[in-house]
Structure 1
């Protein structure tokens, strides 16, 4: 009791402290997001600003959708890697440039922003959205009307906010670019020097001994040779970002001959059913691996071999199955139409959310359609009912070609005829479309299309996985090469793989392997059999190359050819020095060495190629800095050792227009300076990249 009484204060303080900790921890746990988990959702940090996966993922997805539209296809690991990289670079640029803008006092005032949105100097972004396609003039009334509608339309207000932010961002960047561009200049001396470099000619005689004349096996390299070359060229070994090297064995699961026969038999059976099918759209929807819209298609929409046939055969024709690419294909021509290239149309857009749901909106659309067909004024009805920005123009959308509207809208607008009123449902709402003028005419074909890919059967995949799994269970970090050789498996090297790389030669979809590789230690086996699109992989992490100047042991293997040439250069220089002893002429030295003197004419400094030999920057630089008729010392080049004698220079004609030369050079200087300024900001910023944990 005495012990407790004497220490009651300490005990009370400790109890209070524990209660506070328990309260904080309990509150965090009850909220479902413990504070220690916050860092687990950080993709990276840029100059102290954390980027969470929750805010980064939508940006990646947006980039991915843009890439799919731009490049087509369904994407894949490489396209996803591009999207992640693009989103990350945008984050870096946004953060470090925003800080730099504030530091330099660069800003966009409210007056400037007003002018860019609705004033005299409208931004190209606004102009693109509100220019009349028929007249080519900016519709300022439509801008004002859209801004007014945004006050009561949250969706439109959000669109305007996005556009305003983008206008502000672009304007800040333009100001920064202008600031950088105005900070550089080209002097008259530089302009004349550039003119001389591109037009002054030199004629010379040269003797060279290529490194290839000395057999590699005759050159014994020492540690001192490696060290000397490494110390003289350290700057070459700067590694801008961490990378890793792997070695792996791929157990290929490509379709076997039996798999191919099975797919062909399956397609022959489907073809017989397809020919007599009474519901073509349902048949292809159920059986085809590739979903082609069951609608009228333009020429070039299908595989080239199928496309050429279906556009040359009448309705009811059947073609296939044929094997092209990596799949069997067949098609039935269902219909042929001649449709316009472009259409002028108007529409009334109804928002179901504002009308109590789809059913009331559809009912209103039917009523308005009936009213228009009975003589109602479409333009006036559009002004009253349409929630689209075109309502101020009576719903007029101008002239548009294929690919400019969403699918259902395009199908309705292009499949009708002038004067038709059609209804189309899209993600934007319900459209009542009035088809105006139509321009041009092209043949379009409605095709029921069926495609089956040639894939590996479960038996083939199981056999490949069994081999991979057996190897994985037996192999370890010390016997990888030896065991692979025992079973006659090919070991493939994947070198200098960056953390966010979306491809590895020979592997399809290697992201999980790369992620695990960045969590492993050098020399470790990776902890699973990896399933790729083309097989199963067992891999080992062989090397970790950190960011910065790599140590000699990391680059020793790669610099061996250069070190060998450096040693060969010393041997060749000794030969030249011996042959030139006693002030021998170039011809005498060449004769002693069994070589010939090559006359070279009309070489310019800006294009340092020695005709018939190679590009040799160092040698050509030495030639332009030499005296006429003086035999040079041996010069170590990229491909060999050279001795030369300048015969003469042909001076360039005087620069006719110094101002023009300076302006041309200034463009390149400005671009390089801008790029250099941004790179300097990026190098200075503290960037932590954790993306490999998430992608």
Structure 2
């Protein structure tokens, strides 16, 4: 029995492992559990990628201070991947060429006459755009005096290392771009392409003139088109085509009425409240601070009534931004439009707590009242170095520019007054330097309840999705969709790291399933995205490399059909046996259209669109000679060139060469990286991790 059990367990484990290989497209053979990608044979560890994503995410939050949506998260992950990919690819080339940045060169990048752009960004004066040498030298002296292991020293070394790597990359790109050359013949050709004019007449037989039902496409037609355009069917990553139906679980009319009723019940207590700020904190979903606002800054529905209402007036319930709300006029007054202020910002963490920071601010206030210079003390004590360099001056600003507690202090105070307030940035000692303008402002308290679907609504939608899922398989998915009169949504060329799909803000679970499933599979579960319940069908798997004809057949069908139509239309023009464009127009039943002043560099035919083959053929023709039929984007054409208008002789060949060279150089770095990427045989396993 023991032996039988061992065999059974072994077989089960083997089946499980084999199943995982099949379901994840052979993932056990494609990268290991710790590798997110491979570049030129070198692995990119997932831990390194994740650490870099966290750093870039923190930077994004610091810069924009916003919550991260699935789309933003995907954007950060994609940028991080491209950064690591570029670094790995360039490192190979830099090492191969032994490109280095020497000690003297590094020193010159930091403190030389022409410092590196990263030094300018970190230590530049926003007013002048030049490096603040005093600030830079202070940092360098502090770094020099720091002991080994000091975090400041480590951060500086990492900063310099990054700067050196950027410099190496610049050198490499320069090596390539310095080898680019534009000769005089190229300059002359480019000048003529932009300035030589042609006047011509044409006859067009549109593809739309032949009904699709009159055209039969053969396998040979598909093969011919596929072989002719094979290079355009190459993909650098695995892709999926998905289609899906959604069942809406958003709040119903009954849900809306129920939430509105909840808010209406709050109305008497809200009206009677004597501590509106506390009431908002306790009862509102959104804890909005109570601040004075001028007309035009409030929501339109509230803005139109509050500035003529009496204190204590309550408006609502009203629906706004997905919530039912009540708004109460707490107070109104006439206040300044803008304020000029200075501050000294004190860090509670370095002072031993908020109480000690407040005590220090109070001490500084007493010194200033006694005659000490506010500007001098700001330079010494303020941790806001940007304003400290200007004596604490924050300039002139309007309402809503600063954090609410700061705004309240400066707009409700008086000119020349000193205020001490605490915000998330620290303790502020504020001097109100000046106040300008005056207008009526209102302090509004708002309580809100979000309009969310009830459990009953969600259950009903989910049950419908489950019932549909139970009724379908890969073979009858589209038929069941039509039978149930559901809306089918296609999502083509989905990559393994796609975060959202049309109508679905969060679709990672669905995409992960698609990259484990086989073509034709229906999802094995109902997916949830916001208030939508989703059942999906995987229609096509597009492997990395050149896609086979069977895969691209649906997307090329229209173009192949036009090819077949083109043969018929070309035959119609040929059989007309016309000797002039006017005679041809009469025989094929199409008008003769005159066109003036077309240039080779912009092959757009008025009223038709871009026709590259037609315009290219025209500029290679002789005047007054009826052309053969030309297959275009929108139809088949025949034409007669009436005249070419040559431009004036190129006056400045050197300048023309420089302009072409600049455009070439600008494109070179991106094209260079793409070429290196192709050569590096990049393996992307992000779909396994993200």
Q: Over residues 513-547 of structure 1, what are the superposed CA-to-partner deviations in whole Å (9 max), with x where a residue is unaligned?
A: 11221122222222221111132112222211112
**Secondary structure in structure 1 of the residue aligned to 2:498:** coil
Q: 1:567 aligns to what?
A: 564
CA apart distance, 1:365: 5.2
Among candidates 443, 446, 451, match of residue 449 of structure 1: 446
CA apart distance, 1:436: 6.6
Map 1:195-344; keep pairs closer than 5 Å.
195-296=191-292, 302-307=298-303, 316-335=312-331, 338=335, 341=338, 343=340
Structure 1 stretch 189-198 or stretch 558-567: which is displaced more?
A: 189-198
Q: Which runs of 5+ in 1 are unaligned?
A: 1-35
Among candidates 63, 82, 93, match of residue 75 of structure 2: 82
RMSD: 3.7
Q: Over residues 396-444 of structure 1, what are the superposed CA-to-partner deviations in whole Å (9 max), with x where a residue is unaligned?
A: 466485899777677767765666555555666x445353745756766
Q: 2:553 aligns to what?
A: 556
Q: 1:110 aligns to what?
A: 103
2:387–2:394 contact (8 Å) kept in structure 1: no
Q: 1:185 aligns to what?
A: 181
Q: 1:544 aligns to what?
A: 541
Q: 1:613 aligns to what?
A: 608
Structure 1 stretch 287-296 or stretch 256-265: which is displaced more?
A: 287-296
CA apart distance, 1:565: 0.8
1:253–1:534 contact (8 Å) kept in structure 2: yes
Q: Over residues 247-300 of structure 1, what are the superposed CA-to-partner deviations in whole Å (9 max), with x where a residue is unaligned?
A: 222111122111122222222223333222222222222333334333455776
CA apart distance, 1:55: 3.6
Among candidates 570, 576, 585, match of residue 580 of structure 2: 585
Among candidates 490, 500, 503, match of residue 493 of structure 1: 490
Q: Which runs of 5+ in 2 are unaligned?
A: 1-28
CA apart distance, 1:230: 1.1
TM-score in terms of structure 2 length = 0.83
**Secondary structure in structure 2 of the residue aligned to 1:519:** coil
TM-score in terms of structure 1 length = 0.83
2:207–2:635 contact (8 Å) kept in structure 1: yes
Cα distance change, pair 136–236 in 1 and its aligned pair in 2 (3 A): closer
Cα distance change, pair 345–111 in 1 and its aligned pair in 2 (3 A): farther
Cα distance change, pair 406–669 in 1 and its aligned pair in 2 (3 A): farther
Map 1:295-694; keep pairs closer than 5 Å.
295-296=291-292, 302-307=298-303, 316-335=312-331, 338=335, 341=338, 343=340, 345-347=342-344, 349-350=346-347, 352=349, 367-370=363-366, 373-374=369-370, 396=392, 399=395, 422-423=419-420, 425=422, 430-435=426-431, 437-438=433-434, 445-580=442-577, 584-694=579-689
Q: Over residues 367-415 of structure 1, what are the superposed CA-to-partner deviations in whole Å (9 max), with x where a residue is unaligned?
A: 5555555556667766776677679959746648589977767776776
Cα distance change, pair 420–255 in 1 and its aligned pair in 2 (3 A): same
Q: Over residues 61-97 of structure 1, what are the superposed CA-to-partner deviations in whole Å (9 max), with x where a residue is unaligned?
A: 4544555677776342222211211221222223223
Q: Over residues 21-57 of structure 1, what are the superposed CA-to-partner deviations in whole Å (9 max), with x where a residue is unaligned?
A: xxxxxxxxxxxxxxx9x94243333344444444433
Cα distance change, pair 127–310 in 1 and its aligned pair in 2 (3 A): farther
Correspondence 1:91 to 2:84 = yes
Q: How far, CA to CA, are the matches of 1:405 and 1:355 in structure 2?
A: 24
Q: How far, CA to CA, are the matches of 1:281 and 1:172 in structure 2?
A: 57
2:382–2:388 contact (8 Å) kept in structure 1: no
Q: How far, CA to CA, are the matches of 1:110 and 1:418 in structure 2?
A: 55
Q: How far, CA to CA, are the matches of 1:551 and 1:371 in structure 2?
A: 81
1:413–1:433 contact (8 Å) kept in structure 2: no
Q: How far, CA to CA, are the matches of 2:498 and 2:555 in structure 1?
A: 21
CA apart distance, 1:231: 1.2
**Secondary structure in structure 2 of the residue aligned to 1:587:** helix
CA apart distance, 1:587: 3.2
